[in-house]
Amino acid sequence: MTNKHILLTLVLFTLSFFVSKSQTSLTSNLEKHVYTLASDSLQGRAAGTIHAQKAANYIINEWTDSDTDIHPDTTFMYSFGENDKYQNIVKIITGNDEKLKNEYIVIGAHYDHLGVKKGEIYNGADDNASGVATLIELGKALKKNQSNLKRSVMLVAFDAEEIGLVGSKHFINHTSATDMDIKLMFSIDMVGWYKASGAVNYAGTGTIKNGKELLKNPNLIPAGLNVSVKNFERSIFTATDTQPFAIKGVPTLAVTTGTKSPYHKPEDDAHLIDYEGMTLITEHLINLIGHIANDTEFNASGKIAKKHRENQLFTFGITGNLGTNYHHYTAGATDGKTASSSGIGLMSQVNFGRFAIRPEVYYEILNAKHPNGDISTNNLTVPISLVMQNMEGGAGVDVFLGGYYSYRFNGKQNGEKIDFVNTFNRNETGLTFGFGFQVKPFKIGFTSRQALTNFTQSPNSDNAHIRNRANYFTVSYVF
């Protein structure tokens, strides 16, 4: 071995010592945060309780006590909600490029959990002490690296996620965030079960130009970390703090190791967390955010997950319906017996928040029992409805009321063509009303329809004026 080799060995040894030391301290910091936030003394951090406030104080202390240069105005807590019972905590790391510093990367993690139920404490170590621990360490690392950041980074510990994304909704709707140019939002939610899930997942790469390449960039991924990506958040049953941002058109990434942990169970405890995995994820995020903050090419793709497309002015879809139809006699004793109705067509909707206008067009076959023989008509029907809806994140309910026009282009009675010149009317108008519910991309509804115009041109002795009445279910696929 030459002296050169000995020197090199020494240098490498010293380097690896420092690298492993910094890793160790990151790991032990993450561990400390999770054990503190998920300890029984914090009683599950239910939003609006003194225990959630303790958690909030812990986060703000960690950020302001860090050994980096402290500007007190860059870390603050603000209260909101009834009696100011909720708190979001914000840390701003201002970028150093004159222009780009006005653009923000927002990194969020919710710190509340479920509290105590039936005497059992839900500590929420994975959900979401793990995300908050990561957020705290990201805040410290990025602050240290502030002089190398062109864009600004805003870290937010959200309150009240578990009770309906209250903290993140408040942040985006009631603070100066409404005027902020947010380039990208990360929500770190449940990142403590890396080994069990085999990868950290970033859902939402489709919202960013070249998002997949960016997230899979090997130069940014620490050795040993497996990264998986999803173009868009898909699950209609889960939501995280990305939602209120995505609805505003902000590109979002949901960062998670999935639901391998005892999700929303009292067993979600600190000793089950994979701290080595969290260390790798935190290192990846530090690299990634550092890179994005300086990437002048970084931009939104303009695409947004289906389940986040709430405020689209226009929506449209394909629709099918199946139900019954019968003849209602405007004079005389009885109504006709029911027969089937079916149709297929297109629906569209123009949305104005709570209200919408829904024009549809479909081809339908209406059957009816008639004393002189069963009648079947082929129709082109155009309903237009006024809709009242309560939609949130692509799911919700609606009720509607409207009218329709129907053109019978042909029809048969007992297999014989029916006569639209002398016996029956070609055109029909009437009223529709009904209700529906939607979990994007599907929509299911019920419609009741009543003709206001007569099917027969003139009444005869055994047959008073008759009008169609249809009741049917609709299933639509909304694009």
Q: Which residues contribute to the site for Zn ion (CB under 5 A)?
A: 127-128, 189
Q: Which is nearer to Zn ion, 100 or 188 (CB)?
A: 188
Q: Give me 359's structure tokens.
A: 């024009």
Residue placing its CB nearer to Zn ion in the complex, 36 or 321: 36
Min dist CB 205 to Zn ion, Å, is 21
- Looking at the Cβ atoms of 127 and 428, the one nearer to Zn ion is 127
Ranges of beta strands (E only) in 205-266 are: 227-230, 252-256
Give the CA angle between residues 217, 218, 219 to the nearest 5°: 90
Other Cβ atoms less than 10 A from the Cβ of 326: the count is 21
Residue 141: in which H helix or E strand, if any? Answer: helix 131-144
Sheet holding 152-158, edge to edge: 75-80, 86-93, 152-158, 103-110, 181-188, 252-256, 200-203, 227-230
* Min dist. Cβ of residue 38 to Zn ion (A): 13
Q: Minimum distance between the CB of residue 152 and Zn ion, rounded to whole angstroms?
A: 26
- Indicate the residue among 191 and 229 with the shorter CB distance to Zn ion: 191
CB of 120 to Zn ion, least distance (A): 18
Integer angstrom CA distances of residue 143 from 71, 290, 460: 11, 11, 88
* Shortest Å, Cβ 113 to Zn ion: 8
Strand partners, 416: 413
Q: Rounded distance, CA 146 to CA 216, Å?
A: 24
Tokens (6 digits) for 184: 């990208």
Tokens of 148: 């190398």
In the complex with Zn ion, the residue whose CB is nearer, 51 or 370, is 51
127 or 364, CB closer to Zn ion? 127
Contact 322, 472 (CB under 8 A): yes
Name the 3-class secondary structure at 148.
Answer: helix
Pick between residue 74 and residue 123 the one whose CB is nearest to Zn ion: 123
Least Å from the CB of residue 285 to Zn ion: 17
Element (H, E) at 348: strand 339-352
CB of 395 to Zn ion, least distance (A): 18
